[in-house]
Amino acid sequence: MLQDVYVQQDNTVVETRIKIARIQAHKLANIPITPPPYRDKPNKEGALLLQVETNDGLVGWATSGYTHHVAIDLINKYIAPKIVGENPMRTERIPLLFDRASFERPLGRTLISALAMIDIALWDIKGKMLGQPVHHLLGGARDKVPVYVTHGAAYDNAPVYSPEELAAEAAHLVKLGNNHLKNTVGRQPIPDPKDDYIRMRAMREAVGPNVKLAMDGNLRMTLAQAVELCKRCEELDISFVEEPLYYNDPRLLRELRSKTIIPVAAAENEKFSARDLILADAVDYIQPNVNNDGGYSAAIRTAALAKLFHIPLSHGNGNGPHNIALHAGLSNGGLVEYHFHKWMAYNAIFKSVPQPENGYLTVSQEPGLGLEPKDGLIEEFSVQM
Ligand SMILES: [Mg+2]
């Protein structure tokens, strides 16, 4: 096996024989996907697919739903030239090369999201180099993770689901073997807790008492709206409410927790850090998201901090397949989100993607992440920038 030969005292690598040889972010568009059971849209999806190659021929892959040209240019024109030649095993070294820039306003969070994808692809390469699945490299706590299915959201200007449609789709998903569903709340022009309660109640009536139901506020509510929604929904036995409040404000989330028995989850969208949320006693579940916030390397740190505070991890965002390894690998790993529409995009892009079975996803045992793009996909769907 190729290996490092020499590192200087100031930490600059004089020579490494295993090198990152090429990095390319591909913008993919108009990939056909299976629409949700009760809609004919969305039936197409786009994605950013990141390809990292080593000089000995290994390829690591990562993806993101963020396809803005700024992110793609950032990777191809700014990040790639700085890290080509680095050793792919040294994932703690890569962010150091961008430390100053990650605080600068023009780059900021876009840079952190881009570096998250680099980190994911490098962990994929690490696994392939060592012949181990990534969840083993992270600790290998379990081979299956519990999953919940998010559905019922309106996209591409399709009409919002009526309570009856929502209930019918929920019953359909339960018939397929799912035992934990999530729906979005607070999506009205002005969040309407009573309307959301009616929708959640319709779901509960459709699925019976033995299916777990969660709700996701996507950062849209005031404290008063969230308290009203949670108080109304307590009788529906809700498993958790995710990111109900503006900006994930830790002070307000803590206040909400004191007023409801429904567990609170947050950190998918990081305005305040996971550290802020944990230290403020603001959450029952912390939700690191490897695709947005520094990859597996950053999520390991969040998980370790949460473990010290006895807070379990959970997951909420559209990049579920990339978050399976984290939750399978770590002892305080938890639920992974099967976001219906986004999972269909993964199914369309990658050769093999874990699928829910009786409420669980089985993690890939292939070296790396086991998420390999389909042959010819890049040629067929990549868009020139
Ligand atoms: Mg969410």
Residue 190, C-beta contacts closer than 8 angstroms, at least 6 positions apart: none
Residues 111 and 176 in one domain: no
Q: Tell me the pLDDT tens digit for each residue of 326-384.
A: 999 999 999 999 999 899 999 999 999 999 999 999 999 999 999 999 999 999 999 98
Q: Residue 156 pLDDT more than 60?
A: no
Residues 65 and 213 in one domain: no
Residues 79 and 122 in one domain: yes
**Count of C-beta atoms within a 10 Å radius of residue 266:** 30
Outline where 131-192 has alpha helix (H): 134-137, 163-175
Domain membership flag for residue 71: yes
pLDDT at 13: 56
Residues 215 and 180 in one domain: yes
Question: What is the distance in A from the centroid of ligand 1 to the CA of 50?
Answer: 23
Domain membership flag for residue 369: no
Question: What is the distance in A from the centroid of ligand 1 to the CA of 316?
Answer: 5
Give me the amino acid identity at 252.
L
Residues 192 and 325 in one domain: yes
Cis peptide before 42 (omega within 30 of 0): yes
Q: Residue 5 pLDDT more than 50?
A: no
CATH number at residue 239: 3.20.20.120
Question: What is the distance in A from the centroid of ligand 1 to the CA of 384?
Answer: 31
Question: What is the distance in A from the centroid of ligand 1 to the CA of 2?
Answer: 41
Q: Tell me the pLDDT tens digit for each residue of 220-263.
A: 999 999 999 999 999 999 999 999 999 999 999 999 999 999 99
Q: Tell me the pLDDT tens digit for each residue of 61-107.
A: 999 877 788 889 999 999 999 999 999 999 999 999 988 776 666 67
**Strand partners of residue 47:** 28
Residues 181 and 261 in one domain: yes
Domain membership flag for residue 370: no
Question: What is the distance in A from the centroid of ligand 1 to the CA of 129?
Answer: 34
Question: What is the distance in A from the centroid of ligand 1 to the CA of 242?
Answer: 6
Question: What is the distance in A from the centroid of ligand 1 to the CA of 13?
Answer: 40
Question: What is the distance in A from the centroid of ligand 1 to the CA of 380?
Answer: 31
Residues 121 and 181 in one domain: no
pLDDT at 103: 67
Residues 120 and 247 in one domain: no
pTM of the model: 0.93
Q: Pairing mode, if any, of strands 264-266 and 285-286?
A: parallel
By residue range, what is the domain housing residue 67?
4-131+375-381
CATH number at residue 74: 3.30.390.10
Residues 265 and 141 in one domain: yes
Question: What is the distance in A from the centroid of ligand 1 to the CA of 16?
Answer: 41
Question: What is the distance in A from the centroid of ligand 1 to the CA of 96?
Answer: 29
Question: What is the distance in A from the centroid of ligand 1 to the CA of 19?
Answer: 36
Residues 284 and 319 in one domain: yes
Domain membership flag for residue 85: yes
Question: What is the distance in A from the centroid of ligand 1 to the CA of 269?
Answer: 8
Q: Residue 163 pLDDT more than 50?
A: yes
Domain membership flag for residue 367: no
Question: What is the distance in A from the centroid of ligand 1 to the CA of 47?
Answer: 18
The b-or-e profile of 332-344 (16+ CB within 10 A means b, else e) is: bbbbbbbbbbbbb
Question: What is the distance in A from the centroid of ligand 1 to the CA of 54?
Answer: 34
Question: What is the distance in A from the centroid of ligand 1 to the CA of 343?
Answer: 14
Residues 17 and 41 in one domain: yes
Question: What is the distance in A from the centroid of ligand 1 to the CA of 150?
Answer: 9
| Number of structural domains in the chain | 2
Residues 196 and 178 in one domain: yes
Domain membership flag for residue 176: yes
